[in-house]
Structure 1
Amino acid sequence: MYTSPHSRAASAYKRVNVETSFNPDDKHHVVSLLLDGVVQSLTEARGAMQRGDVVARVKAIGKAVRIIEEGLKPGLDKQDGGDLAQNLEGLYGYCTMRLALANARNDESIVEEVGRLMADIASAWKEIKNEASGA
């Protein structure tokens, strides 16, 4: 199948942009991306709820839960993280429990609640990076 040089260049640019924005050695950046992913998924879930799109709602909430359970929780340093890691683990557990309830009840207010919590964590996480870099 023929693709134009412009299309191939655009595709190559997208691949480079994605590859350079993700550096697995920069753990702070990885957590930041995960937090942003949760917030974005919850925004999508709210939109799906407002449209009455059950399939999109379930998919978006499921994605947010997977990011929390498979990305954020396992990344906690429970040995050196002290109380902060313990508190975040509890908060992540609370968020996944609330999201399951939101999905079962189609309750947008619960999704909003979890979205605010995750946005606050994401904001604080970015602030840590800014303070560390002297910005």
Structure 2
Amino acid sequence: MAVTASKSGSGYARGAGAYARVGVESGVMSASPHQLIVMLFDGALASIRAAKLHMENGNTQEKGKSISKALDIVNNGLRAVLDGEKGGEIAANLDALYDYVARQLLQANLHNDVEKIDEAVRVLDDIGSAWRDIGPQVNGN
């Protein structure tokens, strides 16, 4: 079976998707460690906001996928880079906050609770904003 790419066909969509992935991968490859953390916050928040929209629209399957993606970013991205030895109390506090966010997301998914989603967004947005604010100091500007 031959695959042809046309603007209206799925070949075009696959090509556009591949182009977007290359853009994201290029951004990751050129990002500083600080920028990578900002990207993790952005990705988690985008996934949580998507989950909220899916929840409000009754799309249970997509809600679950979005929450799973957000949990993966929080648990295997943000929590995984914490250094308890170097970070001390700050790292321990962040770990507790990320655990709290993960529990909020699990409860939101289980009970279709928009308030839990909003709480997870609030906490991650607060931490992410603080992280963005220290960017100039970290990057030497």
TM-score (norm 2): 0.82
Alignment of 1:113-128 (within 5 A): 113-128=119-134
Does the 8 A contact of 1:34 with 1:67 survive in 2?
A: yes
Q: Which whole-Å CA distance do the structure 2 matches of 1:78 and 1:105 have between them?
A: 33
- Contact kept, 8 Å, 1:78 with 1:85, in 2: the verdict is yes
2:118 maps to 1:112 = yes
Give the letter aligned to residue 74 of structure 1. A
**1:2 positional shift:** 5.3
Distance 2:57 2:126 in 1: 26
TM-score by length of 1: 0.85
Q: 1:1-135 alignment to 2 at 5 Å?
A: 1=3, 3=5, 14=20, 16-23=22-29, 26-133=32-139, 135=141
- Give the stretch that moved more between structures: 11-20 or 54-63: 11-20
CA shift, 1:38, in A, is 0.7
Structure 1, 99-108 or 12-21: larger mean CA deviation? 12-21
Output one character per residue of 1:28-65: Cα deviation in whole Å (capped at 9) or x when no partner.
Answer: 11111111111000100110011111111111111111
**Structure 2 CA distance, aligned partners of 1:50 and 1:126?**
30
Structure 1: which 5+ runs fail to align?
none
Runs of 4+ aligned structure 1 residues displaced above 6 Å come to 9-12
RMSD over equivalenced CA pairs, Å: 2.3
- What is the Cα deviation at residue 95 of structure 1? 0.9
- Asked if 2 retains the 8 angstrom alpha-carbon contact of 1:38 and 1:64, the reply is yes
**Identity across the alignment (%):** 36
How far did 1:97 drift?
1.0
Number of residues of Structure 1 aligned to a counterpart in Structure 2:
132
